C-alpha cells in the first residue's frame, strides 16, 4: 500500500525547498555570519518569483528576480552585521519581520489562483532507469530538483576542496589569521551572505514556481525557513548532510500523509490513521527538532562539539580579540 519509491520521490521534490535554503545558510555561516532571516528572504523570493512570472508569463524571469530579491534583502543583514557589527541574531530576526512585511505588501492584489506556467518537469533519460534511485531522483521531477542535485556536490567541492573555499573557511574560523594572510574578510563575508540570500530567494521561488504556483500569503512558506536553519546545525555545516536531511524531511512530511490511509501495521491498529490525534504529534516533530538543534547551536560548548565555524556570530574587528 505504501510505496517507498513514491514517498522518496515526493520527499526529493519538496525537500528541494529546504535544500536551497539550507545550503545558502551554510555558505553564510561557514563565512561566520549567522542569518536567521531565511524565512523572510524565502517569502520575498516566493512573492517576487510568482508576481514576475505572472506579469511576464515567463517563470524563468521570475526565478531570476526571486533570487535577486532574496539577495537584496540579505545585503541589508550584511550591512548591519558586517559593516556596523551588530548582533547577528537580532538583525536576522528583524530581517524575518522585514521580509514578511515586504512580501505581504508586494503580494497584495496578487490573485493566488492565477494560472501561471510552472517551470518544466522532465525525466532524465538513462538515469531514470537506474533501479530504485532512478524513479526516486530522475523521474518527472522539476528542473529545480535537478539544479539542487547538481548544487550539492558543487557546494561541497567548493567549500572543502578549492582555494576560495579554503579562504571561506578561514574567514569563518580565524578571521584574524585570514586577514593577516591578505584575505579580504569583510569582502568575503559580504559575498557569502549574498550567496545565502540568492539561494533563499531560489528556495522561495521553488515553492511558487515549481511546486504550487500561486501566492497564498505568509503561509506560502509556512515556517520552512526555520526548518532550514535547524537543518544546517543538524547537518554540521555540510551541504551533503543538509541535502540528505532536506530530502528526509520532505519524505517524512509525505509519509505522515500516506500513513493515514493504512488501517493496520503488522496486525496492530495504525495509530496514525486519518483523523487520529497522533497525526498531530507526527506533524509537530520537525518543529520540535528545530527547537532542539537551535538550543544545541546556541550553547557555546555544544556548538564547538558539533563543529560550528569558530567565528560564527562574532563580528570581525581588525586587531581586536586576536581572533
Burial of 30 (0-12, 13-18, 19+ CB in 10 A): buried
Candidate ranges 127-135, 179-187, 231-239, 268-276; the one touching other proteins (CB under 8 A): 268-276
- Pick from 68, 72, 102, 124 the residue near other proteins by CB under 8 A: 102
CB 223 within 8 A of CB 39: yes
Residues 223-262 touching other proteins, rule: CB under 8 A, are 224, 253-254, 257-258, 260-261
What Å distances lie between residue 54 and 37, 247, 320, CA to CA?
26, 29, 50
Least separation in angstroms between residue 229's CB and other proteins is 18
Q: Helix count (H) and strand count (E) of the chain?
A: 13, 4
Do the strands 268-269 and 264-265 form a parallel or antiparallel pair, or are they unpaired?
antiparallel
CB of 68 to other proteins, least distance (A): 19
The radius of gyration computed from the CA coordinates of the chain, to the nearest angstrom, equals 20
47 vs 308, beta carbon nearer other proteins: 47
* Residues numbered 109-148 forming contacts with other proteins, rule: CB under 8 A: 109-115, 121, 140
Q: Return phi, psi of residue 31, to 5°.
A: -85, 0
* Binding letters toward other proteins, positions 272-301, x by CB under 8 A: -xxxxx-xx--x------------------
Give the C-alpha separation, 121 to 135, whole Å: 14
**Footprint on this chain of other proteins (rule: CB under 8 A):** 1, 3, 6, 10, 14, 17, 76, 80, 84-87, 90-91, 94-98, 100-102, 104-105, 107-115, 121, 140, 207, 211-220, 222, 224, 253-254, 257-258, 260-261, 263, 273-277, 279-280, 283, 317, 320
Amino acid at each position: 500500500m505504501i510505496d517507498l519509491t513514491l514517498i522518496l520521490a515526493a520527499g526529493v521534490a519538496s525537500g528541494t525547498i529546504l535544500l536551497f535554503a539550507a545550503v545558502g545558510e551554510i555558505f553564510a555561516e561557514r563565512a561566520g555570519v549567522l542569518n536567521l532571516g531565511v524565512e523572510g528572504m524565502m517569502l520575498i523570493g516566493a512573492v517576487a518569483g510568482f508576481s514576475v512570472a505572472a506579469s511576464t508569463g515567463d517563470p524563468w524571469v521570475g526565478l531570476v528576480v526571486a533570487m535577486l530579491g532574496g539577495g537584496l534583502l540579505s545585503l541589508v543583514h550584511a550591512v548591519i552585521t558586517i559593516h556596523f557589527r551588530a548582533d547577528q541574531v537580532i538583525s536576522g530576526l528583524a530581517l524575518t519581520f522585514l521580509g514578511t512585511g515586504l512580501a505581504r505588501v508586494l503580494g497584495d492584489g496578487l490573485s493566488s489562483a492565477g494560472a501561471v506556467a510552472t517551470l518544466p518537469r522532465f525525466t532524465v533519460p538513462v538515469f531514470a532507469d537506474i533501479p530504485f534511485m532512478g524513479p526516486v531522483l530522475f523521474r518527472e521531477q522539476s528542473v529545480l530538483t535537478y539544479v539542487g542535485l547538481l548544487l550539492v556536490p558543487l557546494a561541497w567541492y567548493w567549500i572543502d576542496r578549492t582555494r576560495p573555499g579554503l579562504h571561506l573557511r578561514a574567514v569563518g574560523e580565524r578571521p584574524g589569521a585570514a586577514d593577516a594572510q591578505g584575505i579580504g574578510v569583510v569582502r568575503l563575508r559580504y559575498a557569502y551572505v549574498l550567496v545565502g540570500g540568492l539561494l533563499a530567494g531560489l528556495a522561495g521561488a521553488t515553492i511558487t514556481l515549481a511546486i504550487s504556483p500561486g501566492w497564498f500569503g505568509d503561509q506560502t512558506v509556512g515556517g520552512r525557513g526555520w526548518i532550514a536553519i535547524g537543518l544546517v546545525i543538524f547537518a554540521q555545516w555540510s551541504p551533503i548532510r543538509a541535502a540528505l536531511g532536506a530530502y528526509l524531511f520532505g519524505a517524512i512530511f509525505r509519509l505522515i500523509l500516506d500513513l493515514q490511509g493504512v488501517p493496520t501495521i503488522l496486525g496492530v491498529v495504525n495509530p496514525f490513521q486519518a483523523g487520529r490525534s497522533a497525526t498531530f504529534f507526527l506533524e509537530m516533530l520537525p518543529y520540535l527538532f528545530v527547537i532542539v538543534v537551535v538550543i544545541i547551536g546556541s550553547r557555546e560548548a555544544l556548538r564547538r562539539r558539533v563543529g560550528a565555524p569558530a567565528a560564527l556570530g562574532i563580528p570581525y574587528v581588525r586587531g581586536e580579540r586576536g581572533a
